[in-house]
Amino acid sequence: MSVIPEIAALHDEMTSWRRDLHAHPELGFTETRTARFIAEMLTDMGMPIHRGLGRTGVVGTLTTGPGPAIALRAEMDALPIQETTRLSYKSIHAGCMHACGHDGHTATLLGAARYLTATRNFSGTVHFVFQPAEEGLAGARAMIDDGLFEKFPVEGVYSLHNNPLQRAGTFGSRVGPMMAASANFDIVVKGRGMHSARPENGVDAIVASAHLIGALQSIVSRNVSPHDTAVVSVTKIHAGTAYNIIPAEVLISGNVRTFRPEVSDTIQAALSRIAKGTAEQFGAAVSVEFRPGYPPLVNHAREVAIAAAAAADVVGEENVDRDCQPFMASEDFSYMLQARPGAYMVIGNGDGADAVEVHNPGYDYNDALLPIGASYFARLVEMNLPKVH
């Protein structure tokens, strides 16, 4: 492993940054302390900064000479989860924690910025983009709508995310779709409420809903080609107030993941058709709302090659998977990749017996990754924007 020595020397300092951020999590579009922390650090590095893109976003710019411009992105927001770890630096805010590693991503990019401002061993411009509200609120789109790439034009944009249950310090990426598109749905089944002792006098929305939930599981297996990947999950059922009342309405909510818009359209049509048909079978009415979320994250071939080469320079080619399995999770970095060419890379957070997934109340970012990830970003810049000697 070839962690850059100057970055290795920053390991303890980066760890302190990361743990400070972990102890002070903030939800999407409220990252005021985090943004101030980042802005002060970038200013101390002598870097001009811009604040307020996407409400709380921060962009720092480092130009060392003529050459192209690229952007490196990290997320700042936390999740509405009650932390269950016993860490000395656990969240001080009830019901809010860094359960996805954005504290680690921010500290990693700050470490790369510290090194690059000190060494300036490249020619061109790097924009360090610290983005708010990745967790479901589309902070990337908010920054773009506020003129991110007009104010800071770039030829490519890159991001790095940890991946729990993957061997620590290994990298993965792929050309094409890497993260799924998401969509949410709400189905309201409307019957006629009645006493539980006299169901014949009403229309039982719960029985209709039970049949509907089972029928929805046929969408992927019978409407989507086996060459495509899709998931339809029912995640919420709300109905009833008492043991002896059959309710008049049932709310069924869920989530859909796909990699192609055409597949999402197929699922939306099938979901509506099955819901209406099943409800009619039991004499109930139904309403369906389908809300598309993040688009699929689609990597670009040239930028994946650049990112993979930088990762291999740090951890060795044998530790870089250039055609990793795509993920059914979603990411709003997809909006940035729609606007500019770029690549999304994952780094293993560790696969030991104690490893837990992101969005878990017992999750913690692996601090051993900090100098590895920062070295990756630094080598990406130095290899992509070489200095002419």
Residue 157 placed within a domain: yes
Q: Are residues 246 and 236 in the same domain?
A: yes
Residue 389 placed within a domain: no
Q: Are residues 175 and 206 in the same domain?
A: no
Q: Are residues 106 and 120 in the same domain?
A: yes
CA-CA-CA-CA dihedral for 276, 282, 285, 286, to nearest 10: -40
Q: Are residues 266 and 313 in the same domain?
A: no
* Domain's final residue, options 275, 292, 309: 292
Q: Are residues 323 and 256 in the same domain?
A: no
Q: Are residues 144 and 246 in the same domain?
A: no
Which residues constitute the domain of residue 219?
181-292
Q: Are residues 173 and 261 in the same domain?
A: no
Amino acid, single-letter form, for residue 214: G
- Which residues, at least 6 apart from 311, have a Cβ–Cβ distance to it below 8 Å? 171, 173, 319, 320, 345, 376
| Parallel/antiparallel/unpaired status of strands 320-321 and 171-172 | parallel
* Domain's final residue, options 292, 318, 336: 292
Please tell me the total count of domains within the chain.
Answer: 2
Residue 253 placed within a domain: yes
Q: Are residues 311 and 283 in the same domain?
A: no
Structure tokens at 154: 């770039």
The neighbour count for residue 98, using CB atoms within 10 Å, is: 30
Q: Are residues 154 and 269 in the same domain?
A: no
The neighbour count for residue 2, using CB atoms within 10 Å, is: 12
Q: Are residues 77 and 213 in the same domain?
A: no
* Domain's final residue, options 292, 326, 353: 292
| Parallel/antiparallel/unpaired status of strands 176-179 and 249-258 | unpaired
pTM over 0.85: yes
CATH number for 235: 3.30.70.360
- Given CA atoms 378, 381, 386, 389 in this order, what sign does their dihedral have? negative
Please report the pLDDT score of residue 389 as a whole number: 65
Phi and psi at 9, nearest 5°, equal -70, -20
In order along its 389 residues, the chain shows pLDDT tens digits of: 799 999 999 999 999 999 999 999 999 999 999 999 999 999 999 999 999 999 999 999 999 999 999 999 999 999 999 999 999 999 999 999 999 999 999 999 999 999 999 999 999 999 999 999 999 999 999 999 999 999 999 999 999 999 999 999 999 999 999 999 999 999 999 999 999 999 999 999 999 999 999 999 999 999 999 999 999 999 999 999 999 999 999 999 999 999 999 999 999 999 999 999 999 999 999 999 999 999 999 999 999 999 999 999 999 999 999 999 999 999 999 999 999 999 999 999 999 888 999 999 999 999 999 999 999 999 999 999 998 76
Q: Are residues 323 and 334 in the same domain?
A: yes
CATH number for 115: 3.40.630.10
Please report the pLDDT score of residue 13 as a whole number: 98
Q: Are residues 35 and 110 in the same domain?
A: yes
